[in-house]
Amino acid sequence: MTFDEWTRTGLPPLLRFATVLCGTPYLAEDVVQDVAIKAQRRWDRIGGLDHPEAYLRRMVVNEYLSWRRKWSRYVPSDDIETGSSPDHADRTADRDELIGELAKLPRRQRAVLVLRYYGGLTDNEIAETMGCSPGTVRAHASRALATLRIQFTSVAEEVHHAY
C-alpha cells in the first residue's frame, strides 16, 4: 500500500479515533496532521508492516500524549477554551467602548486602573508612581470599578429591555 492509498482509506478512521481520543476535532486534526507528516517520511518502513493502521494508531496516541505534556505548561486563553475567537471588529468595538468608559472617570481613578490592569503594577508601585499612599490607590480603584460596574450594568439593562 502506498502512502497516497493509505491517506484515502486509512486517514478517515484514524481521524475518528483521534477525535475520540482528543475530545475535540480541532486538536484531533492537528495531532493526525503531525502523525501523517511523520508517517509520510517513514512510509517505506510503515507501509511494509502487517498492520500499519495499528502502528499509526500508536503514533496518534504518542503524539496526543506529547501534545498534552507540551501544552500543559501553557494556560489557554478564553478564545481557545470557547473554541472560537471573537470577531476582530467586536474586539475593536469592545476596546473602544472600554476606552470611552475609562475616559469618563476622573484622571486619578483612570490612572490607577490603567497602571493596575494594563501596566500590571501592584498597589505599592502605583502609589509610588502617583505619589500617594497604597490606601489611596485602593480607594481610587474601588470607586473607579464601582463606577464602571454601574455604567455597564445600566447599558446591559438598556440592551436587555430593548430586546
- Does one domain contain both 92 and 74? no
| Count of domains observed in the chain | 2
- Does one domain contain both 30 and 48? yes
Here the CATH number for the domain that contains residue 95 is 1.10.10.10
Q: What is the pLDDT of residue 86?
A: 61
Structural domain of 149: 88-162
Q: What is the pLDDT of residue 110?
A: 76
Listed residues 58, 79, 100: the one ending a domain: 79
Measuring CA to CA, which residue among 126, 29, 24, 135 is closest to residue 80? Answer: 24
Measuring CA to CA, which residue among 94, 106, 6, 120 is closest to residue 56? Answer: 6
- Does one domain contain both 104 and 63? no
Helix 52-71 crosses helix 25-41 at what angle (to 10 degrees)? 120
- Does one domain contain both 96 and 64? no
- Does one domain contain both 107 and 151? yes
Q: What is the pLDDT of residue 143?
A: 93
Q: What is the pLDDT of residue 75?
A: 47
Q: What is the pLDDT of residue 39?
A: 92
- Does one domain contain both 67 and 93? no
- Does one domain contain both 60 and 92? no
Q: What is the pLDDT of residue 71?
A: 54
- Does one domain contain both 112 and 155? yes
- Write the CA distances from 136 to 120, 123, 130, integer angstroms: 18, 9, 10
Output the tens digit of pLDDT for each of the chain's 163 residues.
Answer: 888 988 899 899 999 888 877 777 888 899 899 999 999 999 999 888 888 888 898 888 888 877 655 555 444 445 544 455 566 777 777 777 777 787 788 777 877 887 788 777 799 988 887 889 999 999 999 999 898 887 655 555 554 455 4
Q: What is the pLDDT of residue 128?
A: 83
- Does one domain contain both 69 and 135? no
- Does one domain contain both 72 and 102? no
Q: What is the pLDDT of residue 80?
A: 46
Listed residues 27, 52, 79: the one ending a domain: 79
